[in-house]
Amino acid sequence: MLKILRHQLSQYSPPENQHTRQRASVLIPIFEKESRLHFLLTRRSSKLRSHSGQVSFPGGKRDESDQHDLDTALREAHEEIGLLPDSVAILGKIDQILSRNFLLVSPYVGMIPSNFVPQPNEFEIESVFHVPLDFFMKEGHHFLQEYQTKRPYFVHHFYYKDYDIWGLTAQLILRFLEIGLNYIPPYPVHHPKNPTWMEQSQLFRDEHIPKILEGWQSI
């Protein structure tokens, strides 16, 4: 599986939206344990004002000191869980995704040491856990919600122990599995009445925000 993943990610070059200033990045950390690949995930502190208690990959908003989107991902992973940038082997990048608060998020995939011991920042991170990649490709772990608005959409959930892995994080996992392992799930990933989230992220411009907010208020 790792050999296939390395090859697929090295061959994939996603498009880049360079037209928005509000940017963020996440690191998708994977490691090998007992011959299985795992994702490393975090649950954000319930005390945070934004996305409190949600499951996410390490990451955050771009800082003025960051020279590149990758710098943001590595810096945030270090600040949140104590992962040293030099210990991460970047395997590739997957498609940018637009967050609910209009941040264009660049996701990087990184191989981390199997013996890494997280040191979570207690002000930001409630817990750190890992999930085997193949968990997300097995039946019975996925739940799909459909929201009927002016632009209907799906929300994906994966339930692992007492964790609900949903929203943007679930979307990135599904895209990762599609690109890295050619996995196509037996359920629809994108709503047929809308462009895919990959397409929407590339079409987005900062000046669209007022119109989007106006549309939300009219729902």
Q: 108 in a domain, yes or no?
A: yes
- If one counts the domains in the chain, the total is 1
What's the pLDDT score for residue 218? 42
Q: What is the CATH number of the domain that holds 151?
A: 3.90.79.10
Residue 121 lies in a domain: yes
- Residue 134 belongs to some domain of the structure: yes
pLDDT digits (tens, 9 = 90+) for 37-88: 999 999 988 776 655 579 999 999 999 999 999 999 999 999 999 999 999 9
Distance CA 10, CA 4 (A): 10
pTM for the predicted model, two decimal places: 0.93
Q: Among 76, 49, 57, which residue's Cα sits nearest to residue 65?
A: 76
Expressed as residue numbers, the domain containing 83 is: 2-213
Residue 68: inside a domain: yes
Torsion of CA 83, 86, 87, 89, to 10 degrees: 120
Q: Is residue 218 part of a domain?
A: no
Kindly state whether residue 219 falls inside one of the protein's structural domains.
Answer: no
Sheet holding 163-166, edge to edge: 142-147, 153-160, 163-166
Residues of the chain with confidence (pLDDT) below 70: 48-52, 212-219
